Amino acid sequence: MSKPAMQLVNLKKTIGNKPIIKGLDFEIRAGEVFGFLGPNGAGKTTTIRMMVGLIDITEGDVLIEGKSIKTDFKGAIQHVGAIVENPEMYPFLSGWKNLKQYARMVEGVTDERIKEVVSLVGLEKAIHEKAGRYSLGMRQRLGIAQALLHGPSILILDEPTNGLDPSGIREIRKYIRNLAEKENVAVIVSSHLLTEIELMCDRIGVIKNGELIAIEEVQTVEHEEALKEVYIEVEPMETAKVYLDSHLENGVGVGSKELSMSVKREEIPQILKNLMEQGISIYGVRVLQATLEDKFFDLIGENSIE
């Protein structure tokens, strides 16, 4: 496992007497896409603002490549590219001139680099138009370009697919995966849309009311060992139930038309074969995929803000 690109150490934010963020502890590794998931008002943006030093940290710290954002702001922030909330640009400047503004604020960003980034986000055609005329999707791309200019090792994107059309979303997703896998960038993506995050992230941190309530690895390859809920529609049901009860450890449940059971994936063919040999007719088999969405809603419960 690679060293953490960013570490949150007991990160807290209190505004007035109200604790907004109640002690976040997690790390993001180089080369992974980390999804920061939570309902609106859970504290995603506040956390991101603390990560980039826009707001003060009440307690704890954020370490970026080992450097504290509190005590070594410049040392820490130089590794970060970010979009915080909406990708806002100077509306009266062209996309190109907007990027030049940010290029002048760091060392060593050449015009060639800007062109490279612009073509990466696919904005070549509109780059000399005023940013005020851009659609939200184009501004999103310009925002990502701005964040990538100086070749950061950590990229923070707040709701990056907001306002993009489906093909744009797919492109950005592909691009984010690419950055993580090929250039070893740690990408933090915040979203309240689970399906989005599920498709592009390696790990997901779920935040609710300022607390991290779960960190999950996204399983891209199905584990052979995991038990699955399998439903089989059989005739006659009684014979099948008696047979299966005597052969399966966990027993079977009886539905209106189906029998349900928890078995490993590799066991399914044998079970079906045995049932047929017993003269039982099988009309259908379905395997229930426990999706992240189910887990998410179990964890979050209602979308309530305390």
Among 18, 104, 125, 182, binds other proteins (CB under 8 A): 104
3-state secondary structure of 121: coil
By rule CB under 8 A, what count of residues binds other proteins? 30
Judged by CB under 8 A, does residue 26 bind other proteins?
no
**Quick one: 44 or 173, whose CB is closer to other proteins?**
44
Torsion of CA 134, 137, 142, 146, to 10 degrees: 140
Q: How far apart are CA 78 and CA 106, in angstroms?
A: 8
Retrieve residue 267's tokens.
């066991």
Among 9, 55, 199, 218, binds other proteins (CB under 8 A): 55
Retrieve residue 110's tokens.
């050449």
Q: What residues contact 115, with CB distance under 8 A and at least 6 apart?
A: none
Among 5, 21, 89, 186, binds other proteins (CB under 8 A): 89
Among 87-95, 176-184, 261-269, 274-282, the segment contacting other proteins (CB under 8 A)? 87-95
Q: How far apart are CA 272 and CA 156, in angstroms?
A: 48
Q: How far apart are CA 248 and CA 65, in angstroms?
A: 51
Among 18, 56, 112, 219, binds other proteins (CB under 8 A): 56
- Within a 10 A sphere around the Cβ of 287, how many other Cβ atoms? 12
Among 25, 59, 88, 294, binds other proteins (CB under 8 A): 88
Minimum Å distance from CB 254 to other proteins? 55
**Quick one: 64 or 261, whose CB is closer to other proteins?**
64
Helices (H), 184-267: 194-200, 237-247
Among 24, 28, 33, 77, binds other proteins (CB under 8 A): 77
Q: How many residues does the chain have?
A: 306
Among 8, 84, 194, 212, binds other proteins (CB under 8 A): 84
Residues of the shown chain interacting with other proteins in the complex, contacts defined by CB under 8 A: 46, 49, 52-56, 73-75, 77-78, 80, 82, 84-86, 88-93, 97, 101-102, 104-106, 146
